[in-house]
Each structure stands twice: as C-alpha cells, then as structure tokens.
Amino acid sequence: MTPNRPRFFPSRQVSPQSRRQFLLQTATTVALGPRLALAAAESAAPLSLGFSLYGMKTLPLAQAVAACARIGYRNVELALIAGFPTEPAKLTPEVRTAAREHCSAAGLRISSLIANLSLVGDAATHAAHLAVLRQAAQFAREIDAVAPPVVQTVLGGKPATWETEKAGMAVRLRAWDAIARDHGIVVAIKAHVGSAVNSPDRLLWLLREAAVTHVVVAYDHSHFALGGLGVAASLAPLASRTRFVHLKDAEGDATRFSFLLPGEGQADFRAIFRELIAAGYHGPVVVEVSSQIFSRPGYDPIATAERCYAALAPALPV
C-alpha cells in the first residue's frame, strides 16, 4: 500500500456535488503539501484508521511511528504502560517531546494514550493510578491543547466481583473524572470480557452512578461479541458516549476466549464501520493487538501492522 495517496472515486455513479467536493479536497492536497493535506483529509473522513503502539512494545518509538506512517495508518495510540518506550517511569520531558516530534514528522495524529489503570485494589494502588492519570493528562495537553488525545483504559476487577465492588468503583471513577476535568481532557473507559465491567449495562451503570462529566466510552466490539452481543445491540446504548474505538477480533466465549487480529476471525468490520457512522461516530478506529498475540515467540510487530492494514483498509467507507 502507498501511504497518504488521495482516494479517487470508484467507477460507480456519484453526484455532481460529491465530485466537486472531491476535486476541492484534491486541490487542497496539492496546495497545502502532504502533511497539512493529510490533516485535511482526516478531518473530512468519518473514520481514521490507526494502530496502537501497544502492539509494538519491542520497537523504538521512532521506528514504530515510521512504520505505521509507511503502511498507511493515519494515527497512533501511545502506550503509557510499564515496559513500553513511553512508560510512565521514563516519560521525561525529552521523551514526551521526542514522541510528539516523531509523530508530527510522520504526519500521524496521536489519537490516544493507553494506560493500564484499575478502579479496584488497595488505597496505595489507587493513589499510584491517580498519579499515572495526572501524568497522562498533562502529556495529552502537551500533545494538543485544543483537542488532546483521550486517555484510554480498562477498569480492572473480575466479572464475579461486580456486585460487591461496583459502588467503590463509582467513587473512584469520580476521582478520575476530577483529574480529567481539571486538565481539560477526557478519559475513555473500556469494558473487558474478563473484568468487572464486561457489558454495556455495567458500563452505563458506572457512568451514571459516578455522574461523570469528563469520562466517556472506548468501544471494542470484540469483548461484547464474546458475551454474545452483536454490533448494533452493543453499540446502540453506548453510541452517544463513545469517543474512541479499538479494533480486533476474538473467538470463544466469555469463559474461554482468544483474541485475534482483524481478518483472522468472523468479525464483519464493514458492518462495524457502517454501524459506527450510522450512530454518528466520527473519529479514530485503532487496531489493538492483544498481549496474547504480541507475547508469542517470533511475533513481528511491523508485519502484523501490515497484515491488519490490509484486512481493514478495504473495509473503510470511501
């Protein structure tokens, strides 16, 4: 695939208005140059395909970003998790500056900062996670003070402990919300099939009970599919709060499952994209490679990113 190539209309009939809009965008590409034109094209497209650097743990940041740009991705998610190039313990001003510059030079937007936080655990764990969230919020503002990337995380716990832990989780979510509000960012929380919050109903209960103003939804259909929910059934109750989307596939059920790369399973990503747009979602759709996959011997992060792009790019709406 050749990255950053303007999309041309297919052979089907298109309206004169659509054709004029396309010609205007093409002229903009010539006039603004590749980097600004990329931003213009991304703002016009409903969905922006990205890759999470959670799946490139072993690569230096510059190499990972360059590979994603070459493949054709339009945005990346940085991993603020221990063991990654942008882990919190090593996120010095120099590292933050380098991350911004690498992405800017490659023409890639930083769409999200993925953290591994939890709303359960002892007081010390909660305090440590609040410190990471503050650091992530500050970094997000440095990246883009006007439209900062979301800080995205799962929530911890186990499905069986939901009833005993949900009230305490709501209290702690209010503390996350306060940090997000104070820094002018949003935190996107994700249901996980193996966590206490594993369904749309539980996710919505938590958001409502905590009465948050700066916490939104990160939607990942693979977790709901393992619970037997289709795209429409899982997205409809969450659509108005969804600000970020992860893409991967899965097989099995809620008790025994394996995560897969897009294209390896039965997920219909054309349908997922169609449902997202119909629900009013415009924004990043980002490939997430599970640790089940990237921890295997011989895992090749760049080849994996190429494979995912080849599976997903043709499914994106023109």
Q: What predicted TM-score, i.e. pTM, was given to this entire model?
A: 0.86
Question: Cβ–Cβ contacts within 10 Å for residue 143, how many?
Answer: 21
Work out the widest C-alpha separation in the chain, in whole angstroms.
62
CB neighbours of 26 closer than 8 A, spacing ≥ 6?
6
What three-state secondary structure class fits 285?
strand
pLDDT digit string, tens, across residues 95-142: 999 999 999 999 999 999 999 999 999 999 999 999 999 999 999 999
Per-position b or e across 130-141, b if 16+ CB within 10 A of its CB: bebbebbbbbbe
Whether the Cβ atoms of residue 318 and residue 7 lie closer than 8 Å to each other: yes
pLDDT score, position 16 = 43
Confidence check: pLDDT of 1 > 70? no
Determine which helix (DSSP H) or strand (DSSP E) holds 278, and give its type and residue range: helix 269-278
Whether the Cβ atoms of residue 130 and residue 151 lie closer than 8 Å to each other: no
pLDDT digit string, tens, across residues 157-174: 999 999 999 999 999 999
* pLDDT category of residue 38 using cuts at 50, 70 and 90: very low
Confidence check: pLDDT of 41 > 80? no
